[in-house]
Structure 1
């Protein structure tokens, strides 16, 4: 039989084991929290480097120098500050300062805009119709293939009765040879004297003279967001001139819903004139704008962070998946059935462009 004092000795080790286990758990929690603090600080630093590099209110060369300096900041601090906590504090305060300065940059409607975006259509909306002045109607006389094509300027003034809106198409223009980023637009058809006419609305970056589009700049308040209202020939031929493949998908929604979307789009275009906003590459771009308009009448709620919205060349899959394209078309025809480029190449000026490019 084991002596009684042996049991007492074994029992006395239990609190020490529990304490040791608790210490290990606390140490693990501290290590995890420390990891996430460092990860957050690294993300803040990298974001601030990007914000300084593409800071919209300073010259690009100065932004590049400032961004590089901030990227090297941890190395410089490590040479002069011994305490790791102090190093992290200096980096944290610096990045917070950059963020606060960045947040104070306001959008503007008054800049030296390029020729595409200098004169923007402003809708006037009543209960029964929409009047639009300065609808863009450029005609492109060269093929850009990556650079801006030559064009002749023209503008239209339109009066569109809301009850004459007949249909809606979504245009998807592939920006690359592989299916990834794309530009999306909406075309509305309306009836005039028993003939269909088309107007196109495109949410775009409003660029200043000499400015080009950059996906990275689009993250850092570099562009304002605008709605370009143009006739369909202008909107699609510009994309063709850039060498982009453009597909046009007819949306099978009730006319009542399409008219509601049309009025909502016109209201949004008007609001952006008086209350400008910044474009954002992921959250406030051409495709997310269309999604927000459609979501107001559609039964399905689609997240703007859906990968097919981010990689907008796949956005047509959402149209098919949610039944927004005629079921017979989506089930029976290949994707290139909706391609407009070849038909546009054979278009003869003076005929009906919109009818010609549709299958």
Structure 2
């Protein structure tokens, strides 16, 4: 519906009401049809929600005590209340008609002026909101102060050298010894993918991280996060209003997982993804390189709903795996992501415990949660780097995987899809 037709509906509502009431000689609004009342209800709700959205956007950008925030609030309320009253409150509208008749101004004309003023303010606010650009040069908090970059080896494109790999020594949730490392990895040695869910606000909300395993090296973890400034704290509601830039962090697991499981006390689970080919793992890894390039070229906004730590991963993975990852509401409920992976066969219901033996009993999702809970495994882990940070990182990554079956890569696409289908069917039994 165009703005013009929308406000035509809005302004014609009461006039149509009066015509109907005159014909029926009945002043009660209940004589209107249910369709008309439903249309009126949706228009009122739309106006109120649009006002709330604009006021929240301004509040999160300028602050609650800002002159702009207060001025906009007064103007919006000053337009919206008379507009709704003059258009939909029958008794009040009739009184307004009586008072305006002496001034040769009709209630219909007043409603149009109010609606036009509100539409102008709201559309101007909408244009302002979408003109806000993300930036790289702010006073960032230490853990997001650097951006990850990389270079390919000129002779071997599989060799990737990363700069600004985060490897902090965390002491408390807010205090750490900063360290940004340079690290080279070989994509030809990729051996698998693990997804970690860190629960910090109940069972529905979790932060999702992705770790890439290598045959002869420690894992490397990636995490999409909000890029907080020094004076900022996270708010899920603020995440809808261009309050936080999006950041891609490349880190050692002893940093980015330890800070959640130990320093912050969040509940962390690590799930090894089954039934992948090496080409899929490599393509997913490459998609993180592309994401790093894009964010470094043009900063982007974090959005709580459409561009958060979980669904961005899903978008990238779906490009790689296609229909093997069907759309599902749990993509937007990050805490249920492991259940989704289990149902589509990416968590094996009958995992291979070692090279020779598979599980004798199918694993339920409850079993997966029990076996992959890493907090009990990391209690007492000495995360202070005294001699060699690489050794410490290897030890932490090995410790959080104790008791978790690490699946081998599939030899072909047919094998990968067949095993995933079999696992999905087993999960339904």
- The TM-score range, normalised by the shorter chain, is 0.7 to 0.9
From 191, 208, 220, the counterpart of 1:184 = 208
Partner residue, 2:93: none
Further displaced range: 33-42 or 267-276: 33-42
CA distance in structure 2 between the aligned counterparts of 1:289 and 1:90, rounded to whole angstroms? 39
Q: What secondary structure does 2:257 align onto?
A: helix
Q: CA deviation at 1:34?
A: 4.3
Partner residue, 1:322: 344
Q: What secondary structure does 1:286 align onto?
A: coil
Higher strand share: 1
Q: CA deviation at 1:346?
A: 3.4
Partner residue, 1:113: 140
CA distance in structure 2 between the aligned counterparts of 1:214 and 1:310, rounded to whole angstroms? 17
Q: For the Cα contact (< 8 Å) 2:199–2:335, is it kept in 1?
A: yes
Partner residue, 2:386: none
Partner residue, 2:397: 354
Partner residue, 2:221: 200
| TM-score (norm: length of structure 1) | 0.82
Q: CA RMSD in A?
A: 2.7
- How many residue pairs are counted as aligned between the two chains? 324
CA distance in structure 2 between the aligned counterparts of 1:101 and 1:346, rounded to whole angstroms? 51
Q: CA deviation at 1:205?
A: 0.6
Q: What secondary structure does 1:187 align onto?
A: strand
Q: CA deviation at 1:28?
A: 6.6
Q: What secondary structure does 1:318 align onto?
A: helix
CA distance in structure 1 between the aligned counterparts of 2:287 and 2:344, rounded to whole angstroms? 21
Q: For the Cα contact (< 8 Å) 1:139–1:153, is it kept in 2?
A: yes
Q: Could you give the per-residue CA deviations for residues 54-88 of structure 1, whole angstroms, max 9, x where no partner exists?
A: 12xx3452165356435633236669995334333
Q: How does 1:1-359 map to 2 (within 5 A)?
A: 32-55=38-61, 58-62=62-66, 65-66=70-71, 68-69=73-74, 72-73=77-78, 74-75=80-81, 82=107, 83-125=110-152, 127-142=157-172, 144=173, 148=174, 150-176=175-201, 178-191=202-215, 195-240=216-261, 241-252=263-274, 253-298=276-321, 299-303=323-327, 306-329=328-351, 331-332=363-364, 333-349=367-383, 351=392, 352-358=395-401, 359=403
| TM-score (norm: length of structure 2) | 0.69
Higher helix share: 2
Distance 1:353 1:301, change over 3 A: closer
Distance 1:308 1:71, change over 3 A: farther
Q: For the Cα contact (< 8 Å) 1:46–1:71, is it kept in 2?
A: no
Further displaced range: 31-40 or 162-171: 31-40
CA distance in structure 2 between the aligned counterparts of 1:343 and 1:331, rounded to whole angstroms? 20
Q: What secondary structure does 1:106 align onto?
A: coil
Q: Could you give the per-residue CA deviations for residues 201-238 of structure 1, whole angstroms, max 9, x where no partner exists?
A: 00011111111111111000001111011111111011
Q: For the Cα contact (< 8 Å) 2:310–2:331, is it kept in 1?
A: yes
Partner residue, 1:7: none
